[in-house]
Amino acid sequence: MTNAKRVCAECGATVFADAPQGICSVCLFRTGLASEDDKAFESTVARMLKDFGDYELLEEIGRGGQGVVFRARQKSLNRTVALKVIGLGEWATKAHLKRFRLEAEAAASLDHPGIVPIHEVGERDGSCYFSMKLVEGGQLDEVVRHEQMSIGRAVELIAKVSRTVHYAHEHGILHRDIKPGNILLDKTGEPHLTDFGLARLVESESTVTRTLEVLGTPSYMAPEQAVGNNAQLTSATDVYGLGAVLYQLLTGHPPFTGGTTYETIKLLLDTEPRQPRLLNPKIDRDLSTICLKCLEKDPQRRYSSSLALAEDLEHWLKHEPIRAPRTGIVTRGSKWVRRNPTTALLFALSLAFAATVGVIIWKSTSLPSPPSDGVAVLPFVDLSPAKDQEYFCDGISEEILGALAKVEGLRVVARTSSFSFKGKNADVTEIARKLNVQNILEGSHCRLQHGDRLSSARKQHDRQ
């Protein structure tokens, strides 16, 4: 059977009558790959969907990872709504459509003044869509881009959003993509949470939710989400997102921003966020503590719920004591050790070794000794097969030398003098004579296949 032919509405090429939206495959493909800033793409989408059943599309007002949002007029009820249509239309995979439906179902099941309500969910010509209340006012990121928000106002806003998120959690729904662009401010400045495009029913076993695909916006994404471990996402994931938005409102920057998505995620996983007070001196210690508690790498160290976060923010607003403990130097040090276990172990071994040697030498020098008594630390010898550990050997020697120099009453030969024998096969007795000391400390480092091993030997020489 032969299909009737007609002309593509976009480029004028001949297309078959059953072509989706009357657009040829080339133009439809270009539409799916076009950038967000491409004006031609915007006009193409508008023409493709101008007459969308009961909805007349007026203008594009937003774009997310899964779809495009239009200001539209619902003809049957003669009202203006926001209409979200999945971006790829008939080119979308079943997984895309399933995730999009989950978004609509999750949002439609919630009835809260801080959540944008869903009016209708449907499908037309292979395109899935839902209509929702149109919130006039703008996205939070756009609002703060044009006008500075006070610290008190930022805290009040996040406290309200936190209570909204807690309501969703009580109904078994995670948002998973909390960011400034998904918080809408109405004309009175009240926040409304939207775009549950990444939400999932906590009890659901959908294959969509168990995929290893990383979903979310990197700068506001929790570490457990960044590694794609969707099975371990909990309400603490949304607490992190709330903290990330608060951090940006307070400092003007998200906690982590790299040149690429990869760089942002690497920063997120490997580094701690800078103290907000360093970026904005007006932020007090308590508020900085609240913000950083939300951004803990370990979900169990964050607030136990978004409600607990809201309550602590409200305590701060009322000038009452907050519940979050301040982070001390010991806590920050332990975080560094957890992120760098190998380096920390080697550093601890070198310090312990230096302390042991220091005690031995201190005991030996506690007795009366001639003025020439002292110690010289020779550079450690690199015995690794690849001979690529010289920098590490020098570092250990310098650490030990520095520790011994702090022993009161102990004369320690300067690094310049002791390192002058590096690479020379001089006899230790001769070295002791030239440096005018009775104690020589030398050692070696051998990097083996199954780990690092540090070996050393202490030799004491009595000069006649």
**What positions carry a catalytic annotation?**
177
* Three-state secondary structure call for residue 69: strand
CA distance linking residue 452 with residue 47, whole number of Å: 66
Contact of 44 with 31, CB cutoff 8 Å: yes
- Residue 221 burial (10 A CB sphere; 0-12, 13-18, 19+): buried
Say what the alpha-carbon torsion angle 181, 184, 215, 127 is, to the nearest 10 degrees.
Answer: -110
CA distance 169 to 255: 24
Query: What span, in angstroms and rounded, lies between the C-alpha atoms of 263 and 266?
Result: 5
* Token duo for residue 274: 């800078």
Q: Are 6 and 17 in contact (CB under 8 A)?
A: yes
Phi, psi of 377 (to 5 degrees): -105, 110
**How far, in Å, CA of 340 to CA of 84, rounded?**
45
Report yes or no: 3 and 9 within 8 Å, Cβ to Cβ.
Answer: no
Judged by DSSP in three states, 450 sits in coil
What string of DSSP letters covers 394-434?
HHHHHHHHHHHHTSTT--B--HHHHGGGTT----HHHHHHH
Sequence-ordered list of residues with C-beta below 8 angstroms from that of 66, at least 6 positions apart, any chain: 86, 87, 96, 99, 100, 103, 197
